[in-house]
């Protein structure tokens, strides 16, 4: 009887070693196993066995339950090169060490430019992203139609799973923007007498005009002054803006009729012309108190600010080298 018991113990130990402690074989090419949100442990374990990552789905499932990590498994796409024990495999998923593609979205990028950047990163087709950002169920539910999410896709560095959808990418960027809209910010927007869309529109104009960070609040102050006096904002970037991403020369754009051409009317354009960063949003929220009404850019990106049209004309002449 003792011999039989010893044999059983040795057999169990051998199985435990083989299924729990012995690393699996190397895998070439390394398979990717997708763990979906809400997916059960049994399904995950079965997928790991099917792709050759673990020898036994049952062993992987038992290990996860015994160690208490069964409820800690995180969704994502996981790549496994092999030569790992069950503990190592389950550990990757419990720690959320999924595959990610890092994409940096610069301040002032448009929907069109963001779409191109995501496609270049191998994530989503540009036209799918543009459609999701311009006209989708999410955009309509958030009340952003018909202009779409332009202005609300917060510029930042994102880590997207390789199989992210266009709608998911848009939602992630919108969530990041929404985190900035604190009660204090919403109160400030109300104090300024603006709607959130108007505030973001103004911030997008500051983003496109300002090349030197320190000038952002001053440029915002000029725009507020012109709005107060019902003067056309005469912002070149608004005249150049288009949904399709084309950027005509300034000389041509300012003379082309457009709903965004602020040379043709007083007031803000109907929506943002880019996606502003936090600094431009803060400049639009807290503009510098100033009496300036005009500004013109130098070659180094800084601006000459003027109180009157006469001063402004002189500034332009000086930049052109005219007497």
pLDDT by residue (tens digit) across 222-241?
A: 999 999 999 999 999 999 99
pLDDT of 22: 80
Indicate where the chain has its CATH 3.30.1490.480 domain(s): 23-94
- The gap from C-alpha 278 to its chain's centroid, in whole angstroms, comes to 13
For residue 24, is pLDDT > 90? no
pLDDT of 323: 59
Q: Contact at 8 Å (CB) between 228 and 305? A: no
Phi-psi region of 282 (alpha: psi -120 to 50; beta: other; left: phi over 0): alpha
pLDDT of 20: 56
pLDDT by residue (tens digit) across 38-47?
A: 899 999 999 9
Taking the C-alpha atoms of residue 16 and residue 13, their distance in angstroms, rounded to an integer, is: 5
pLDDT-derived band of residue 1, with 50, 70 and 90 as boundaries? low
Taking the C-alpha atoms of residue 53 and residue 27, their distance in angstroms, rounded to an integer, is: 8
Burial class (CB in 10 A: 0-12, 13-18, 19+), 242: middle
pLDDT-derived band of residue 245, with 50, 70 and 90 as boundaries? confident
Residue 23 has which token pair? 């690393």
What mean pLDDT is predicted for residues 147-159?
A: 96
pLDDT-derived band of residue 254, with 50, 70 and 90 as boundaries? very high
Return the H-helix or E-strand segment holding 99.
Answer: none
pLDDT by residue (tens digit) across 103-149?
A: 999 999 999 999 999 999 999 999 999 999 999 999 999 999 899 99
For residue 12, is pLDDT > 50? no
The overall pTM is greater than 0.85: no
Greater confidence (162 vs 118) lies with: 118
Q: DSSP letter string over 245-278?
A: -----HHHHTTS--TT-TTSSBS--SS-SS---H
Other Cβ atoms less than 10 A from the Cβ of 99: the count is 15
Taking the C-alpha atoms of residue 138 and residue 132, their distance in angstroms, rounded to an integer, is: 8
Angle, in degrees to the nearest 10, between helices 216-228 and 278-285: 40
Buried b (16+ CB within 10 A) or exposed e, 17-33: eebbeeebeebeeebeb
What mean pLDDT is predicted for residues 286-295?
A: 96
69 φ, ψ to 5°?
-100, 5
Calculate Rg over the CA atoms of the chain: 28
Residue 72 has which token pair? 């800690």
pLDDT-derived band of residue 74, with 50, 70 and 90 as boundaries? very high
- Where would I find the beta strands (DSSP E) of 92-206? 101-104, 157-160
Q: Contact at 8 Å (CB) between 31 and 51? A: yes
Check whether domain 23-94 has CATH 3.40.605.10, yes or no: no
Fold that domain 101-178 belongs to in CATH: Dna Ligase; domain 1 (3.30.1490)
């Amino acid at each position: 009887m003792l011999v039989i018991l010893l044999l059983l113990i040795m057999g169990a130990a051998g199985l435990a070693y083989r299924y729990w402690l012995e690393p699996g074989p190397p895998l070439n090419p390394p398979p990717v196993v997708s763990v979906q949100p809400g997916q059960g442990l049994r399904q995950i374990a079965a997928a790991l066995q099917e792709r050759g990552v673990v020898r036994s789905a049952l062993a992987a499932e038992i290990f996860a339950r015994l160690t208490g990590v069964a409820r800690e498994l995180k969704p994502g796409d996981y790549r496994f090169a092999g030569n790992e024990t069950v503990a190592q495999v389950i550990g990757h998923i419990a720690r959320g060490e999924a595959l990610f593609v890092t994409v940096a979205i610069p301040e002032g990028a448009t929907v069109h430019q963001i779409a191109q950047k995501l496609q270049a990163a191998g994530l989503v087709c540009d036209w799918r992203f543009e459609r999701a950002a311009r006209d989708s169920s999410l955009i309509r539910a958030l009340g952003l139609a018909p202009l779409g999410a332009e202005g609300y896709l917060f510029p930042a560095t994102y880590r997207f799973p390789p199989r992210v959808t266009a709608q998911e990418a848009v939602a992630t960027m919108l969530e990041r923007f929404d985190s900035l809209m604190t009660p204090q910010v919403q109160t400030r927007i109300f104090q300024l007498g603006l709607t959130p869309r108007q505030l973001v529109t103004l911030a997008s104009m500051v983003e496109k005009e300002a090349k030197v960070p320190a000038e952002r609040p001053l440029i915002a102050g000029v725009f507020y002054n012109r709005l107060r006096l019902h003067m056309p904002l005469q912002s070149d970037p608004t005249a150049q803006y288009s949904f399709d991403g084309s950027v005509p020369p300034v000389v041509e754009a300012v003379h082309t009729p457009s709903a965004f051409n602020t040379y043709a009317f007083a007031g803000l354009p109907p929506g943002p012309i880019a996606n502003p960063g936090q600094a431009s949003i803060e400049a639009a929220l807290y503009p510098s108190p100033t009496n300036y009404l005009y500004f013109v850019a130098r070659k180094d990106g800084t601006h000459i600010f003027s109180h009157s049209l006469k001063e402004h004309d002189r500034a332009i002449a000086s930049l052109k080298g005219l007497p």
